[in-house]
Amino acid sequence: MAKIMIVDDTIDIVETLKIALQKKGHETNEAHSGDEFLKSVEEVNPDLVLLDVMMPGLNTRQILERLKEKGKEHIKIILVTVVRFADAERDALQKEYNIVDYITKPFDVFDLLQRVEKQLSGGDDAPSQ
């Protein structure tokens, strides 16, 4: 069982992911903004974070930079986004932070679960998309 933190401002997505991940035996925690995530990440100490890219408040780079400042850069992060990153931007984020995958919304829950399990089992750290 792994600790997975779901960071998304869309309640329906959080609930869907929470149910699916808990059925797989994982412990889930949630945050609905970057600030909320950063406040709780040290206490939760997740093994993996599913991080929405488009949320009010802090942008993705700010969240990732503050995570790094907290000494939590080892936490694996899967970005969940409606935005398709240019290859160069995606590569830059991956090199600078521990981004292990990108999942584009709308997503298939079964596919997302497979990607999560791949990362938790020490799978390839290269993003799938």
Please report which helix (H) or strand (E) contains residue 76, including its range: strand 76-81
pLDDT in tens, 87-114: 888 788 888 888 999 999 999 999 999 9
* Domains along the sequence of the chain with CATH: 14-120 (3.40.50.2300)
Quick check: 55 and 8 in contact, CB under 8 A?
yes
Question: Does residue 129 have a pLDDT over 70?
Answer: no
pLDDT in tens, 27-65: 999 999 999 999 999 999 999 999 998 888 898 889 999
Cα distances (Å, whole numbers) of residue 39 to 26, 96, 108, 116, 117:
21, 22, 29, 23, 26
What band does 71 get if pLDDT is binned at 50, 70 and 90?
Answer: very high
Query: pTM for the complete prediction?
Result: 0.90
Quick check: 97 and 60 in contact, CB under 8 A?
no
* Cα(54)–Cα(84) distance, integer angstroms: 12
For residue 46, is the peptide bond before it cis, meaning its omega torsion is within 30 degrees of 0?
A: no
What band does 124 get if pLDDT is binned at 50, 70 and 90?
Answer: low
DSSP letters, 12-34, are HHHHHHHHHHHHTT-EEEEESSH
- Please give the structure tokens belonging to residue 76: 């694996």
What band does 128 get if pLDDT is binned at 50, 70 and 90?
Answer: very low
Mean pLDDT, residues 76-82 taken together: 92
Query: pLDDT value at position 83?
Result: 77
